Amino acid sequence: MNASAERLPVRQTASQLLLRLIYDRGPISRADLVRAAGLTAPTVSDAAASLMAEGLVVEVGLGPSTGGKRPTLLQVAPDARQLIGIDLAHGNFRGALMNLRGEVICREEILLEGHRGVEALALVYRLVDALAARAQRPLLGIGIGAPGLTEAARGVVNAAVNLGWNDLPLAELLHEHSGLPVFLSNDCHLAALAEHLYGAGKDSPAMVVINTGYGIGSGIVLGGQLLAGVPFGGGEIGHLVVAAGGELCSCGHRGCLESVVGLRALARRAQELGLDVPAQLEGLPALLAERQQQGDPATQQLVNETGRALGTAAASLVAVLGGCRIFIAGSLMALGDPLLAALRAELALHAFTPVVEISEVGFVQAGEDIVLRGAAVLVLSRVMRLL
């Protein structure tokens, strides 16, 4: 039996509060913790001792003297616990073992190869098993970013068309399989959470992450809160119609954003323009960026149209949210500044100028692990009350 079977104690309030303070502000002295927590010195001392006994907190040297002897500083031990993050929103299923700072320790990837339904579910089990087997510390839980409509509160994937999942209680099934707490959310929502905590969207009062790839969606964070929808559907802009009467989308409607800028749509349009398309569609945007730089007019047109379609959708977001920061994540980031320039131009054409002027468009900074980092946020906030 590996460490995953170990039962973790439920944090009690004083030590829970202290752990969070040490996580956010460490290295920090006990005296500063007394002030910050508003607790008595003996309570802080006892709670710190129990956190150290659990291996969650360590002493890391001495701080500057404030008159008397130099205080010992406390810090969270980032590798005291591990967690599993899963990103199901690509051509392949990706997962990582991560630490308490959401840093990747090791990765596993499983080829989806067109599997759907129960076969795709079996691959998720395989991915989790492979990562759990590599855990060297007690596992806190599993965070999953799933494509399509998800109901985070119930841990259900309502509809993921490409995986053939309908009303799949994925969190419950995976909990039964692994014995670990499992938390699930839409991949774009997790990307937004990660960018809000770790990336360029830090402390933004209103921000949106548009995640691009095979599917298109967005996560909206307003006043520090994720707009997930009740019970689901928040930020679901992939099926916003941006080209009336356009191509048929997987949802059954025509001209959705996803049917214009999703990877399959991008490949189709590239072929129509006589461009070569790689077998691995994830590599297509980088290839297009290279051709664009070489001055190929067909590619420039394709990139421009892609940015403009995103700009049309961004105008709807701005109309509802008011001034906000919009970040592009995922595959289309490879298209670089020409994509953003086209997006900005179209946004300016379609939205109210004063609102456009207080809005901002850019790329995420959280990197290609953005969904995995969001999955870590899910576990850390729910199990440890951190973040």
Q: Which is nearer to Zn ion, 229 or 322 (CB)?
A: 229
Long-range interactions of 116-124: CB distance < 8 A, separation 24+ = 116/162, 116/163, 116/164, 116/165, 117/163, 117/164, 117/165, 120/163, 120/164, 120/165, 121/165, 121/168, 121/170, 121/173, 123/93, 124/86, 124/88, 124/93, 124/170, 124/174
Give yes or no for residue 239 binding Zn ion (CB under 5 A).
Answer: yes
Q: Of the ranges 6-14, 87-95, 245-253, 336-344, which one interacts with Zn ion (CB under 5 A)?
A: 245-253
Q: Name the minimum Å distance from CB 262 to Zn ion.
A: 9
Contact 235, 219 (CB under 8 A): yes
**Cis amide linkage into residue 231, ω under 30° from 0:** yes
Q: Name the minimum Å distance from CB 142 to Zn ion.
A: 29
Q: Name the minimum Å distance from CB 255 to Zn ion.
A: 8
Q: Name the minimum Å distance from CB 254 to Zn ion.
A: 8
Q: Name the minimum Å distance from CB 372 to Zn ion.
A: 26
E-strand ranges in the chain read: 28-29, 57-62, 72-76, 82-87, 92-98, 104-111, 139-146, 149-151, 156-160, 165-168, 182-186, 206-212, 217-222, 225-226, 325-330, 360-363
Q: How many residues bind Zn ion (CB under 5 A)?
A: 5
Contact 294, 325 (CB under 8 A): no
Distance CA 238, CA 222 (A): 20
Q: Name the minimum Å distance from CB 241 to Zn ion.
A: 8
Q: Which is nearer to Zn ion, 149 or 227 (CB)?
A: 149
Q: Which is nearer to Zn ion, 54 or 236 (CB)?
A: 236
Give yes or no for residue 309 binding Zn ion (CB under 5 A).
Answer: no
- Compute the radius of gyration of the chain from its Cα atoms: 23
Contact 76, 57 (CB under 8 A): yes
One symbol per residue from 189 to 228: x for binding Zn ion (CB under 5 A), - otherwise; what is it? ----------------------------------------
Q: Which is nearer to Zn ion, 191 or 216 (CB)?
A: 216
Give yes or no for residue 325 binding Zn ion (CB under 5 A).
Answer: no
Q: How many residues would you count in the chain? A: 387
Q: Which is nearer to Zn ion, 247 or 296 (CB)?
A: 247
Q: Which is nearer to Zn ion, 63 or 246 (CB)?
A: 246
Looking only at residues 247 through 306 of this chain, which bind Zn ion when binding is defined by CB under 5 A?
A: 249, 251, 253, 256
Q: Which is nearer to Zn ion, 198 or 232 (CB)?
A: 232
Q: Name the minimum Å distance from CB 269 to Zn ion.
A: 16
Interface residues with Zn ion (CB under 5 A)?
239, 249, 251, 253, 256
